[in-house]
Copies of this chain bind each other. A is one copy, B any other.
Amino acid sequence: MCRWAAYRGEPLYLEELVSSPAHSLIAQSHCATRATTATNGDGFGIAWYGDHPEPGRYRDILPAWSDCNLKSIARQIRSPLFLAHVRAATGGGTRRDNCHPFTHGRWSFMHNGQVGHFDALRRPMEAMLDDELYSQRQGTTDSELLFLMALQFGLDRDPIGAVGETIAFVERLAGHLGQEVLVRFTAAFSDGETLYAIRYASDWRAPTLYAAPMGPSGGYCLVSEPLDDDHNAWVEIPDGTAVIVSENGVDVRLFSPGEPAEPARTQQV
């Protein structure tokens, strides 16, 4: 079970979410308390938006808590929008190409969850990609492939809809192939302007997703698990939900795969 955190708001030093001693992703990954997998030692990654449309990225396969580079980079870089991920491998070897966040152009993407029976579905899923996206495939994870499929299905035009279509495609594919239908998907992704997150599972057992206000003014943080014990601060986002953090604040919408996106019910988390 991986862990991740994403932020959008006034520029914040990455270290505040990534590597601060008490309540950060690294502290969590070294001493997991809520997760069923005890350790998150299979690599990490950060993607942040700065002066360029495409994000910067730093990934490595060491345990996050051992990496001096990560600490130094997270201390120096301040960004209004970033994603950070700590990996516990469930499939795909330990190597940089399998570490989240994945990026493509201005998009970044990270994921916690799984595609059931991915071994049987991998090839027809890859076959869906057009040549350009197929050639971008670097690793072997289900997560990277879900991201490439979402790009194929129009992430640029309709981000939530494209992810919904991706998940629906995978679920139908599993059904056609006589496999158990199981997609668990708690993901965050961004185009550098807006931060999106989705919590969904075919079996209603999606990895958790929480949100809280953070940073100097009007910022929001989305996390796979609360970063500290102040449980009042964190709102759990239920299964079947999409969260959109933009300059207009936070939208929370019902999410179900394959359907047109629900009209927004703007609300404050």
State how many angstroms separate the Cβ of A192 from the closest Cβ of chain B: 12
Say whether A63 contacts B135, CB under 8 Å: no
Which of A66-74, A200-208, A233-241 interfaces with chain B?
Answer: A66-74
Say whether B41 contacts A31, CB under 8 Å: no
- Among B42, B52, B75, B123, point to the contact of A66 (Cβ < 8 A): B42
Cα A68 to Cα B39 in complex, Å, equals 19
State how many angstroms separate the Cβ of A11 from the closest Cβ of chain B: 10
- Among B30, B41, B138, point to the contact of A93 (Cβ < 8 A): B138
Would you call A90 an interface residue if the criterion is a C-beta within 8 Å of the partner chain's C-beta atoms? Answer: no
Cα A39 to Cα B65 in complex, Å, equals 11
**What residues on B are CB-neighbors of A122 within 8 Å?**
135
- Among B56, B58, B63, point to the contact of A41 (Cβ < 8 A): B63
Q: If the complex has contacts A58-B73, A76-B48, are A119 and B135 also in contact, measured as CB distance less than 8 A?
A: yes
Cα A67 to Cα B43 in complex, Å, equals 13
Which of A94-102, A179-187, A248-256 interfaces with chain B?
Answer: A94-102
Say whether A63 contacts B60, CB under 8 Å: no
Say whether B51 contacts A66, CB under 8 Å: no
Given A56-B72, A76-B77, A95-B96, 7 additional A-B pairs, CB 8 A: A38-B38, A39-B39, A41-B41, A57-B69, A59-B69, A60-B69, A69-B69
Residues of A within 8 A of B (CB): 30-32, 38-39, 41-42, 48, 50-52, 56-63, 66-69, 72-73, 75-78, 89, 93-97, 119, 122-123, 131, 134-135, 137-138, 140
